[in-house]
Structure 1
Amino acid sequence: MENPSQRRDALIAAITLVCGLLLIGLGLTEVWGNQTGLMELTGDDRWWFALPLAIACVALVYKRRAPVAALAVGFLMLAVDLLLGGSIAILLPFFDLLYTAALICSARVRRALWVIGGVFVAAPMIYGLAETADLRLTVLIGLQQSVMFICPLWWAMDVRRKTELATVAAARADAVERLSLAGRQHAIRQERDSLARDLHDVVASHLSAIALHSGGALATPPDEAKDRAALVQVRRSALESMEDMRTMITLLRAPDSEEIEPVPDGGTTHLPRLTHLQPLLDQAQANGLSVTATDRLSALPTERPGAATELVGYRIVQEALTNAAKHAPGSDVLLEVLPGEGGGDVNIRISNPYPESATPGQDHGTPRGLGLGLISMKERAASIGGVVSSSSIDNHWTVTATLPLTATGTRVLP
């Protein structure tokens, strides 16, 4: 079954044939007379021009399926028409065949058509100038030949350029849409990672404390006083976890343009601060750790850490103490918070000995970690331009962080 384009080409061929026959009937034949014709056709003999016209119109039906072959037929019928004396009718299918070939063929074929068209324009001009030495006639011949061979090529080139520009614009729009989609997916992925990191830091420390106290109570014989103290610690950790979750949800609902600033003591909301580590030290003490803290940052008279540095530093210390309580319960922990040598950095160092047990953390019913805590610390530090490293030195596990004193324009969840 023919497709719509083939039916349209057949219809155009039929219309072209009818129009060409009308031109022949009006006597628009032998337009070049004895200049090209090998025979003189008069009266009804002019209908011989209908033969090359009809064959060229048949070639129009196949101009899209075989454009080069159809154009070759068109050139041949144009030559036959010129030998008969030339008619206007043959130009109708010839223009269409030349235009279609220049529009849909390859670049190599298009270059060949331009060369052939240039030859067909230049050769008659040179011949006419040599024979007549008439410049006006030479220009007229050049204009006539250009209309026949150059105009269809120029028209096809213009249409093709506009089509290619439209295709490039569509491809660019599609690429922009794909980039936008990739950007949205990347942003969603970053937000998911950020939420996972914040949930781990905010909730995991409290849940670890709950697991430690409840596991310790279950691992020993019943003791009302000891069990009640464990329940008090469990309740305290649960309340603190709920408060931190409430603060984080509040900040998630806040506009993106808001910046996090610590609220002074006495306010309604207290965001964690590196210069106020006492809650963490109390929690670590309740979890069975013995922490020796050296904090020289809070004593600085002028330079104070930015809000993002306060928050990130606090969470790094919190995660390190949580890991120590989980994997080395009851150990002595060394905590140092010091200003950098140049005054533009904050140095944090947390060190604790390896546990004596071969399977640390399981004595009190707590599961082994998945390494997410260290990943979270590194990601938090990197978000404000800092670095976190961990190492094993002299049977001690040491976490070291270097953070910028101020990290403006950074939005970090608590």
Structure 2
Amino acid sequence: MVTPRRLAALTRWLRTPPRGPAADRAYSLTILLAGLALLALDVKMLGTDQPVVAAPGGATPWQVAILLLGTSVLLAKRRRPVLVLVAVTLLVVADVLLGGSLGMYLVLFDALFTVARAAGRRARAVVLGVLVSLVLAVLVTTVALGASPRDVVQLTLVAGSLLLPPWWWGSDVRRSELLAAEQSRRADAERARADLARAHADDVARIAALDRDRAVQDERARMARDLHDVVAGHLSAVAIHAEAALAGPPDEPRDRAALAAARAGSLAALAEMRSMILVLRAGADADAATAPAGLSRVADLDVDVVGDVPADLPTAVDHAAFRILQEAATNARKHGTGPAAVRFAADGDDLEMVVENALRTDALPVDPALTSSTGLQTMRERATALGGTLTAAPTGTVWRVHVRLPLRPGDER
């Protein structure tokens, strides 16, 4: 029973027949067996019973030999399609002179199909021109011989139906194969582009992560250097007071004052060292020196101060607040429409700092993969290292940074 699935499979097989030496041998053997069966049944291609040329021993043995030779020649059709077609054409002419057989027509059909499917562009153009010329030659010859219009049309259609269908089928299979190959190349190209896009996205994400890590390391190294400078100042003061006490004869009031100053400096240095340990990370460059930063340098920043700037803050808090304000001012210049406004509030336990700036309304969106966003991360890192908090988010058309830093960094809260 012919089911729709079997019919579809047969259609696919007809459009793209199997290829390869094994398939070629199977085709040749099939054609040979079919041709021998047709010869045994005495089925003629031209519909004539008498051969044009009388052959010794009868036409059938010669036709069998020609059929065997033709099917053998077909085994080389993949390597030399045009040469095989020429050889098969000569054998078909000899077979026609002996009376003609459908087996040799099948050989010619396969040879024409192979040329249309596998030959080069120029060879295909030449062969197609020859086929069309043969059909036209049949038309002109029948007219010149005075055949009736019915016979002219009939013979021309027979010639066309014998020569052109294998060419049309082979050309259709060739187009299908080229289309499949092109689709396969496009699919491969799309997969390659997708792989490159994924690799690029991974590289961008990896570079962004490295940039963030590097920015955090640099920021922490700078924090440690700032604190190192202050601790060194306290220890230098301790050494100076001790040296002054030891330089002269014993004097109880003076010596006690020097010891008190040394104790105060030592305690201050210990407090700063505790803060430094919280923020110092192994691998930071602790040899570089920077000028201590603090809120006393707010005037150096492009910000509008609302109210008073707190003074006498712990060094770690003073430095962290200044660096956070410095980064917020930089972000305001990048993404805002004017200088940021900052206000401070300090009670006995915390320093609170609020930085606000107006956002641009005409800014183009930025691809998150192309920005490392290290500014907010380093600001938050500074606040967290001292036990504080930092939030940054838009409020309407205003960007607001709210920082809270404990005035006793490192205390358990």
Per the normalisation by structure 2, the TM-score is: 0.58
Question: Superposition pairs for residues 27-38 of structure 1, below 5 Å?
Answer: 27-29=42-44, 31=46, 33=48, 38=52
For residues 102-158 of structure 1, the C-alpha deviation after alignment (integer angstroms, 9 at most, x for no partner) is 211111211112111111111111111221342222222222222222111110111
Amino acid at match of 2:95: D
Which position in structure 2 is the counterpart of 1:115?
A: 129
> Are the equivalent residues in 1 in contact too, given 2:304–2:339 (CA < 8 A)?
no
Distance between the aligned counterparts of 1:93 and 1:183, measured in 2?
A: 52
For residues 271-291 of structure 1, the C-alpha deviation after alignment (integer angstroms, 9 at most, x for no partner) is xxxxxxxxxxxx9317x9675
Per the TM alignment, residue 39 of structure 1 is displaced from its structure 2 partner at its CA by 2.1
> Are the equivalent residues in 1 in contact too, given 2:35–2:67 (CA < 8 A)?
yes
Distance between the aligned counterparts of 2:37 and 2:161, measured in 1?
A: 21
Distance between the aligned counterparts of 1:147 and 1:293, measured in 2?
A: 93
> Are the equivalent residues in 2 in contact too, given 1:29–1:46 (CA < 8 A)?
no
Question: Superposition pairs for residues 233-382 of structure 1, below 5 Å?
Answer: 233-235=275-277, 237=279, 284-285=293-294, 291-296=299-304, 345-346=337-338
Amino acid at match of 1:294: D
Distance between the aligned counterparts of 1:132 and 1:196, measured in 2?
A: 92
| Gap change, CA 1:16 and 1:210, over 3 Å in 2 | same
| Gap change, CA 1:295 and 1:218, over 3 Å in 2 | closer
Q: Among residues 259, 262, 273, which one is paired with 1:231 in the alignment?
A: 273
Is residue 52 of structure 1 aligned with residue 66 of structure 2? yes
For residues 185-223 of structure 1, the C-alpha deviation after alignment (integer angstroms, 9 at most, x for no partner) is 111122122222333334421332113423664696566
Question: Superposition pairs for residues 139-150 of structure 1, below 5 Å?
Answer: 139-150=153-164
Which position in structure 2 is the counterpart of 1:102?
A: 116
> Are the equivalent residues in 2 in contact too, given 1:339–1:347 (CA < 8 A)?
yes
Amino acid at match of 1:22: A
Amino acid at match of 2:303: D
- Range with bigger deviation, 180-189 or 191-200: 191-200
Per the TM alignment, residue 32 of structure 1 is displaced from its structure 2 partner at its CA by 5.3
Which position in structure 2 is the counterpart of 1:304?
A: none
For residues 308-327 of structure 1, the C-alpha deviation after alignment (integer angstroms, 9 at most, x for no partner) is xxxxxxxxx959969xxxxx
Distance between the aligned counterparts of 2:271 and 2:24, measured in 1?
A: 93
Distance between the aligned counterparts of 1:70 and 1:109, measured in 2?
A: 13
| Gap change, CA 1:345 and 1:126, over 3 Å in 2 | farther
Is residue 68 of structure 1 aligned with residue 92 of structure 2? no
Which position in structure 1 is the counterpart of 2:145?
A: 131
Name stretches of at least 5 consecutive residues in structure 1 with no aligned partner: 240-282, 300-316, 323-334, 349-402
Name stretches of at least 5 consecutive residues in structure 2 with no aligned partner: 1-18, 240-264, 282-291, 308-321, 341-358, 377-413
> Are the equivalent residues in 1 in contact too, given 2:45–2:105 (CA < 8 A)?
no
Distance between the aligned counterparts of 1:339 and 1:297, measured in 2?
A: 16
> Are the equivalent residues in 2 in contact too, given 1:29–1:88 (CA < 8 A)?
yes
Distance between the aligned counterparts of 1:14 and 1:196, measured in 2?
A: 69
Amino acid at match of 1:285: G
Q: Among residues 159, 175, 197, which one is paired with 2:211 in the alignment?
A: 197
Which position in structure 2 is the counterpart of 1:392?
A: none
Q: Aligned with 1:53: secondary structure?
A: helix
Amino acid at match of 2:302: T
Q: Aligned with 2:302: secondary structure?
A: strand
Q: Aligned with 2:293: secondary structure?
A: helix
Distance between the aligned counterparts of 1:292 and 1:28, measured in 2?
A: 109
Amino acid at match of 2:167: L
> Are the equivalent residues in 2 in contact too, given 1:295–1:338 (CA < 8 A)?
no
Aligned length: 281
> Are the equivalent residues in 1 in contact too, given 2:39–2:60 (CA < 8 A)?
yes
Q: Among residues 166, 170, 194, which one is paired with 1:180 in the alignment?
A: 194
| Gap change, CA 1:159 and 1:406, over 3 Å in 2 | same
| Gap change, CA 1:215 and 1:99, over 3 Å in 2 | farther
Which position in structure 1 is the counterpart of 2:37?
A: 22
Which position in structure 1 is the counterpart of 2:20?
A: 5
> Are the equivalent residues in 2 in contact too, given 1:30–1:84 (CA < 8 A)?
no
| Gap change, CA 1:337 and 1:39, over 3 Å in 2 | closer
Higher helix share: 2
| Gap change, CA 1:297 and 1:150, over 3 Å in 2 | farther
Q: Aligned with 1:89: secondary structure?
A: helix
Per the TM alignment, residue 408 of structure 1 is displaced from its structure 2 partner at its CA by 6.9
Structure having the higher Rg: 2
Distance between the aligned counterparts of 2:361 and 2:297, measured in 1?
A: 28
Q: Aligned with 2:114: secondary structure?
A: helix
Distance between the aligned counterparts of 1:21 and 1:297, measured in 2?
A: 108
Amino acid at match of 1:82: V
Amino acid at match of 1:15: T
Q: Identity of counterpart residues, as a percentage?
A: 22
Amino acid at match of 1:204: D
Per the TM alignment, residue 344 of structure 1 is displaced from its structure 2 partner at its CA by 7.6
Distance between the aligned counterparts of 2:276 and 2:60, measured in 1?
A: 111
Distance between the aligned counterparts of 1:73 and 1:233, measured in 2?
A: 97
Distance between the aligned counterparts of 2:103 and 2:160, measured in 1?
A: 17
> Are the equivalent residues in 2 in contact too, given 1:40–1:85 (CA < 8 A)?
no
| Gap change, CA 1:345 and 1:56, over 3 Å in 2 | farther
